[in-house]
């Protein structure tokens, strides 16, 4: 039983857990930011594709 009490009172792993939580929050924020950038990039290339297609059709007509 004293082994379980020692494990329960051991605080040495608490810092590692806190760092893990901070790292996971940073990763979640990064993923959100990258998704936003990816959406903007996709929209930009859609506009470029439409303008090039329109330009090519005007030149062949």
Q: Which helix (H) or strand (E) holds 10?
A: none
Q: Above 70 in pLDDT, residue 1? A: no
Q: Report, as an integer, the average pLDDT of 7-27.
A: 81
What pLDDT does 33 receive?
A: 93
> 31-48 burial by CB neighbour count: b if 16+ within 10 A, else e?
eeeeeeeeeeeeeeeeee
Give the tens place of pLDDT for each residue, 31-60.
Answer: 999 998 998 899 999 999 999 999 999 887
- Please, which pLDDT band fits residue 16 given cuts at 50, 70 and 90? confident
Q: Which helix (H) or strand (E) holds 32?
A: helix 14-60
């Amino acid at each position: 039983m004293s082994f379980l009490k020692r494990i329960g009172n051991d605080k040495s792993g608490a810092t590692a857990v806190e760092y893990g939580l901070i790292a996971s929050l940073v990763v979640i924020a990064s993923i959100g930011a990258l998704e936003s950038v990816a959406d903007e990039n996709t929209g930009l290339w859609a506009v470029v594709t439409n303008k090039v297609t329109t330009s090519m059709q005007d030149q062949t007509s």
